[in-house]
Protein backbone atom coordinates (compact mmCIF):
# COMPACT_ATOMS: atom_id res chain seq x y z
CA UNK A 1 0.00 0.00 0.00
CA UNK A 2 2.74 2.45 1.06
CA UNK A 3 6.36 2.40 -0.04
CA UNK A 4 8.98 4.70 1.43
CA UNK A 5 12.13 4.78 -0.61
CA UNK A 6 15.28 6.32 0.82
CA UNK A 7 13.25 9.00 2.60
CA UNK A 8 15.13 11.79 4.34
CA UNK A 9 13.52 14.67 6.20
CA UNK A 10 15.57 17.71 7.12
CA UNK A 11 14.11 20.54 9.20
CA UNK A 12 15.65 23.98 9.17
CA UNK A 13 16.07 25.08 12.79
CA UNK A 14 17.31 28.65 12.93
CA UNK A 15 20.61 28.68 11.03
CA UNK A 16 21.04 24.92 11.18
CA UNK A 17 19.70 21.87 9.42
CA UNK A 18 18.37 19.04 11.56
CA UNK A 19 17.91 15.62 9.97
CA UNK A 20 14.85 13.97 11.52
CA UNK A 21 14.80 10.94 9.16
CA UNK A 22 17.84 9.40 7.48
CA UNK A 23 17.19 7.47 4.25
CA UNK A 24 14.25 5.36 5.42
CA UNK A 25 13.09 2.56 3.11
CA UNK A 26 10.16 0.33 4.02
CA UNK A 27 6.85 -1.04 2.84
CA UNK A 28 3.50 -1.10 4.58
CA UNK A 29 0.98 -3.65 3.34
CA UNK A 30 -2.77 -3.22 3.00
CA UNK A 31 -4.62 -4.33 6.12
CA UNK A 32 -1.56 -3.86 8.37
CA UNK A 33 -1.90 -3.36 12.12
CA UNK A 34 1.43 -1.88 13.07
CA UNK A 35 3.24 0.78 15.04
CA UNK A 36 6.29 2.97 14.96
CA UNK A 37 7.91 3.05 18.38
CA UNK A 38 10.91 4.86 19.77
CA UNK A 39 11.94 7.62 22.14
CA UNK A 40 10.65 11.15 21.92
CA UNK A 41 12.18 12.88 18.90
CA UNK A 42 13.02 9.64 17.05
CA UNK A 43 10.89 10.61 14.04
CA UNK A 44 7.57 8.79 14.56
CA UNK A 45 5.27 11.74 13.96
CA UNK A 46 7.41 12.90 11.05
CA UNK A 47 6.87 9.52 9.34
CA UNK A 48 3.10 9.59 9.90
CA UNK A 49 2.94 13.12 8.49
CA UNK A 50 4.86 12.01 5.38
CA UNK A 51 2.67 8.92 4.88
CA UNK A 52 -0.48 11.03 5.20
CA UNK A 53 0.80 13.65 2.76
CA UNK A 54 0.70 16.36 5.44
CA UNK A 55 4.38 17.06 4.80
CA UNK A 56 6.88 16.27 2.05
CA UNK A 57 10.23 14.49 2.32
CA UNK A 58 13.40 16.50 1.68
CA UNK A 59 14.58 13.65 -0.56
CA UNK A 60 13.36 10.18 -1.44
CA UNK A 61 9.88 9.08 -2.32
CA UNK A 62 6.66 8.09 -0.56
CA UNK A 63 4.28 6.09 -2.74
CA UNK A 64 0.67 5.14 -2.10
CA UNK A 65 -0.62 2.27 -4.23
CA UNK A 66 2.32 2.85 -6.56
CA UNK A 67 1.75 6.57 -7.04
CA UNK A 68 4.38 9.01 -5.76
CA UNK A 69 2.85 11.59 -3.42
CA UNK A 70 5.44 14.08 -4.72
CA UNK A 71 3.95 13.80 -8.22
CA UNK A 72 0.50 14.85 -6.96
CA UNK A 73 -0.75 18.41 -7.23
CA UNK A 74 -2.10 20.12 -4.11
CA UNK A 75 -5.63 19.17 -5.12
CA UNK A 76 -4.67 15.55 -5.79
CA UNK A 77 -2.93 15.36 -2.44
CA UNK A 78 -5.98 16.78 -0.70
CA UNK A 79 -8.16 14.22 -2.51
CA UNK A 80 -5.78 11.40 -1.48
CA UNK A 81 -6.11 12.44 2.18
CA UNK A 82 -9.85 12.95 1.97
CA UNK A 83 -10.62 9.67 0.20
CA UNK A 84 -8.03 7.22 1.52
CA UNK A 85 -6.59 8.32 4.86
CA UNK A 86 -8.22 8.59 8.28
CA UNK A 87 -6.27 10.63 10.81
CA UNK A 88 -6.47 10.25 14.57
CA UNK A 89 -4.49 12.96 16.35
CA UNK A 90 -3.46 13.05 19.99
CA UNK A 91 -5.62 16.09 20.55
CA UNK A 92 -8.65 14.42 18.80
CA UNK A 93 -9.24 17.56 16.67
CA UNK A 94 -13.02 17.34 17.05
CA UNK A 95 -15.17 20.27 16.00
CA UNK A 96 -16.40 21.77 19.30
CA UNK A 97 -19.57 23.40 18.01
CA UNK A 98 -20.84 20.16 16.50
CA UNK A 99 -22.27 17.15 18.30
CA UNK A 100 -21.01 13.57 17.94
CA UNK A 101 -23.28 12.81 14.98
CA UNK A 102 -22.16 15.93 13.10
CA UNK A 103 -18.47 15.33 13.81
CA UNK A 104 -18.70 11.85 12.29
CA UNK A 105 -20.84 13.08 9.40
CA UNK A 106 -18.44 15.90 8.52
CA UNK A 107 -15.86 13.94 6.41
CA UNK A 108 -18.66 12.51 4.28
CA UNK A 109 -20.03 15.99 3.57
CA UNK A 110 -16.49 16.99 2.52
CA UNK A 111 -16.56 14.07 0.08
CA UNK A 112 -19.72 15.54 -1.44
CA UNK A 113 -22.18 12.99 -0.01
CA UNK A 114 -25.74 14.02 0.78
CA UNK A 115 -26.69 13.69 4.44
CA UNK A 116 -29.83 11.71 3.57
CA UNK A 117 -27.73 9.03 1.90
CA UNK A 118 -25.30 8.56 4.78
CA UNK A 119 -27.36 9.22 7.93
CA UNK A 120 -27.77 5.52 8.63
CA UNK A 121 -24.11 4.79 8.10
CA UNK A 122 -23.05 7.57 10.50
CA UNK A 123 -25.46 6.25 13.16
CA UNK A 124 -24.17 2.70 12.66
CA UNK A 125 -20.59 3.79 13.17
CA UNK A 126 -21.43 5.86 16.24
CA UNK A 127 -23.22 2.79 17.55
CA UNK A 128 -20.23 0.61 16.68
CA UNK A 129 -17.88 2.71 18.79
CA UNK A 130 -20.41 2.54 21.65
CA UNK A 131 -21.63 6.13 21.66
CA UNK A 132 -25.26 5.91 20.57
CA UNK A 133 -26.39 7.44 23.86
CA UNK A 134 -24.01 10.37 23.38
CA UNK A 135 -24.85 10.96 19.71
CA UNK A 136 -26.31 14.44 20.29
CA UNK A 137 -23.69 15.59 22.78
CA UNK A 138 -20.91 18.09 22.09
CA UNK A 139 -17.26 17.04 22.61
CA UNK A 140 -16.83 19.30 25.68
CA UNK A 141 -19.32 17.13 27.60
CA UNK A 142 -17.54 13.84 26.79
CA UNK A 143 -14.66 12.05 28.53
CA UNK A 144 -11.24 11.64 26.87
CA UNK A 145 -12.03 8.02 25.99
CA UNK A 146 -15.35 9.01 24.46
CA UNK A 147 -13.67 11.79 22.42
CA UNK A 148 -11.15 9.24 21.17
CA UNK A 149 -14.04 7.00 20.05
CA UNK A 150 -15.59 9.90 18.14
CA UNK A 151 -12.20 10.48 16.48
CA UNK A 152 -12.05 6.79 15.52
CA UNK A 153 -15.60 6.83 14.11
CA UNK A 154 -14.80 10.00 12.17
CA UNK A 155 -11.59 8.47 10.78
CA UNK A 156 -13.40 5.28 9.71
CA UNK A 157 -16.70 6.57 8.37
CA UNK A 158 -15.29 7.13 4.90
CA UNK A 159 -13.86 3.58 4.86
CA UNK A 160 -10.25 4.67 4.34
CA UNK A 161 -7.52 2.32 3.19
CA UNK A 162 -5.45 3.39 6.18
CA UNK A 163 -5.86 5.06 9.55
CA UNK A 164 -2.83 6.98 10.80
CA UNK A 165 -3.00 7.36 14.56
CA UNK A 166 -0.46 9.47 16.45
CA UNK A 167 -0.20 8.25 20.07
CA UNK A 168 -3.84 7.05 20.12
CA UNK A 169 -3.75 6.09 23.80
CA UNK A 170 -1.65 9.00 25.11
CA UNK A 171 -4.48 10.70 26.96
CA UNK A 172 -6.32 7.58 28.11
CA UNK A 173 -6.19 5.52 31.29
CA UNK A 174 -5.33 1.81 31.10
CA UNK A 175 -8.91 0.58 30.85
CA UNK A 176 -9.89 3.00 28.10
CA UNK A 177 -6.65 2.25 26.25
CA UNK A 178 -7.53 -1.46 26.12
CA UNK A 179 -11.09 -0.74 25.01
CA UNK A 180 -9.87 1.54 22.22
CA UNK A 181 -7.22 -0.95 21.09
CA UNK A 182 -9.76 -3.78 21.02
CA UNK A 183 -12.09 -1.59 18.99
CA UNK A 184 -9.38 -0.70 16.47
CA UNK A 185 -8.38 -4.35 16.17
CA UNK A 186 -11.98 -5.28 15.48
CA UNK A 187 -12.30 -2.55 12.84
CA UNK A 188 -9.04 -3.70 11.26
CA UNK A 189 -10.34 -7.27 11.10
CA UNK A 190 -13.89 -6.52 9.99
CA UNK A 191 -13.40 -3.51 7.70
CA UNK A 192 -9.89 -4.31 6.51
CA UNK A 193 -8.62 -0.78 7.18
CA UNK A 194 -4.88 -0.69 7.91
CA UNK A 195 -3.86 0.97 11.18
CA UNK A 196 -0.48 2.61 11.54
CA UNK A 197 0.28 3.97 15.01
CA UNK A 198 3.02 5.99 16.55
CA UNK A 199 3.40 5.25 20.23
CA UNK A 200 5.47 5.00 23.40
CA UNK A 201 2.81 2.87 25.00
CA UNK A 202 3.67 -0.76 25.80
CA UNK A 203 -0.04 -1.61 25.71
CA UNK A 204 -0.18 -0.66 22.03
CA UNK A 205 2.92 -2.62 21.17
CA UNK A 206 1.36 -5.80 22.63
CA UNK A 207 -1.46 -5.52 20.11
CA UNK A 208 0.33 -4.86 16.85
CA UNK A 209 1.46 -7.45 14.33
CA UNK A 210 4.48 -5.41 13.28
CA UNK A 211 6.63 -2.98 15.22
CA UNK A 212 9.21 -0.70 13.65
CA UNK A 213 11.64 0.82 16.13
CA UNK A 214 13.06 4.22 15.32
CA UNK A 215 16.06 5.86 16.94
CA UNK A 216 17.42 9.26 15.94
CA UNK A 217 15.68 9.00 12.59
CA UNK A 218 16.97 5.51 11.72
CA UNK A 219 15.09 2.20 11.63
CA UNK A 220 16.71 0.14 14.40
CA UNK A 221 14.42 -2.90 14.25
CA UNK A 222 11.51 -4.14 12.16
CA UNK A 223 9.74 -7.01 13.86
CA UNK A 224 6.77 -8.98 12.53
CA UNK A 225 5.05 -11.29 14.97
CA UNK A 226 1.94 -13.25 15.67
CA UNK A 227 -0.52 -11.72 18.10
CA UNK A 228 -3.19 -13.82 19.80
CA UNK A 229 -2.86 -16.62 17.25
CA UNK A 230 -3.47 -14.34 14.27
CA UNK A 231 -1.32 -14.52 11.20
CA UNK A 232 1.30 -11.79 10.96
N1 LIG B 1 8.59 21.42 12.22
C2 LIG B 1 9.75 21.09 12.77
N3 LIG B 1 10.80 21.92 12.78
C4 LIG B 1 11.97 21.57 13.33
N5 LIG B 1 12.23 20.38 13.92
C6 LIG B 1 11.22 19.52 13.96
C7 LIG B 1 9.92 19.80 13.41
N8 LIG B 1 9.14 18.73 13.60
C9 LIG B 1 9.88 17.82 14.24
N10 LIG B 1 11.13 18.27 14.45
C11 LIG B 1 12.23 17.56 15.10
O12 LIG B 1 12.41 16.31 14.44
C13 LIG B 1 12.66 15.27 15.37
C14 LIG B 1 11.63 14.18 15.19
O15 LIG B 1 10.36 14.69 15.63
P16 LIG B 1 9.06 13.78 15.68
O17 LIG B 1 7.96 14.66 16.16
O18 LIG B 1 8.89 13.08 14.40
O19 LIG B 1 9.46 12.74 16.81
P20 LIG B 1 8.55 11.71 17.61
O21 LIG B 1 9.31 10.44 17.62
O22 LIG B 1 7.18 11.71 17.05
O23 LIG B 1 8.55 12.35 19.06
P24 LIG B 1 7.39 12.37 20.18
O25 LIG B 1 7.29 10.96 20.64
O26 LIG B 1 7.92 13.31 21.19
O27 LIG B 1 6.13 12.87 19.49
C28 LIG B 1 12.63 15.92 16.75
O29 LIG B 1 13.97 16.17 17.15
C30 LIG B 1 11.89 17.21 16.54
O31 LIG B 1 12.34 18.22 17.43
How far is 200 from 189, CA to CA, in rounded Å? 23
CA-nearest of 193, 204, 132 to 168 is 204
Question: Are 99 and 141 contacting, i.e. CB atoms less than 8 angstroms apart?
Answer: no
Residues with CB under 6 A from ligand 1: 11, 13, 18, 20, 38, 40-46, 198
* Interface predicted TM-score of the whole assembly (ipTM), two decimals: 0.94
**pLDDT mean over 104-133:** 91
Query: Which atom of ligand 1 lies nearest, measured to the CA of 38?
Result: 21
CA-nearest of 63, 89, 44 to 6 is 63
Q: How confident is the model at residue 145 (pLDDT cuts 50, 70, 90)?
A: confident
Strand (E) or helix (H) holding 12: strand 2-13
Helices (H), the chain: 44-51, 74-84, 100-110, 115-128, 144-156, 174-191, 202-207
Q: How confident is the model at residue 230 (pLDDT cuts 50, 70, 90)?
A: low
pLDDT of residue 100: 97
**pLDDT mean over 8-17:** 93
CA of 18 to the centre of ligand 1 (A): 10
Q: Max Cα separation, the chain?
A: 54
For a mutational test of ligand 1's pocket, the pick from 46, 89, 199, i.e. the residue with the most ligand atoms closer than 8 A to its C-beta, is 46
CA of 85 to the centre of ligand 1 (A): 21
**Is the pLDDT at 232 greater than 50, yes or no?**
no
Query: Which atom of ligand 1 lies nearest, measured to the CA of 46?
Result: 18
CA of 146 to the centre of ligand 1 (A): 28
Average pLDDT along the chain: 90
Looking at domain 31-40+74-223, its CATH superfamily turns out to be P-loop containing nucleotide triphosphate hydrolases (3.40.50.300)
- Please write the tens of the pLDDT for every residue from 22-51: 999 999 999 999 999 999 999 999 999 999
pTM, two decimals, is 0.87
Sequence ranges of the domains in the chain: 31-40+74-223
Which DSSP category does 163 fall into? E
CA-nearest of 69, 8, 25, 31 to 212 is 25
**Is the pLDDT at 158 greater than 70, yes or no?**
yes
Q: How many residues does the chain have?
A: 232
Question: Are 51 and 63 contacting, i.e. CB atoms less than 8 angstroms apart?
Answer: no
pLDDT of residue 176: 77
CA of 6 to the centre of ligand 1 (A): 19
pLDDT of residue 122: 95
Which range (67-81, 128-142, 177-191, 204-218) has the least confidence?
177-191
Which range (119-133, 134-148, 165-179) has the least confidence?
165-179
CA of 7 to the centre of ligand 1 (A): 15
pLDDT of residue 37: 94
CA of 217 to the centre of ligand 1 (A): 10
Query: Which atom of ligand 1 lies nearest, measured to the CA of 214?
Result: 21
Considering the chain, what percentage of its residues have pLDDT values greater than 90? Answer: 62
Amino acid sequence: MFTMQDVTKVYRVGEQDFTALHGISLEIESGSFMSFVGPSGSGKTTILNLLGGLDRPTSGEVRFQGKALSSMSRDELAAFRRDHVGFIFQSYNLLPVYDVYENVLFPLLLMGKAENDVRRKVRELVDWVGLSEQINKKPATLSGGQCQRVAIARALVKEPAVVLADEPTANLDAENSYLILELMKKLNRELGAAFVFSTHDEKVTQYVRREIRLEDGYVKADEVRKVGGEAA
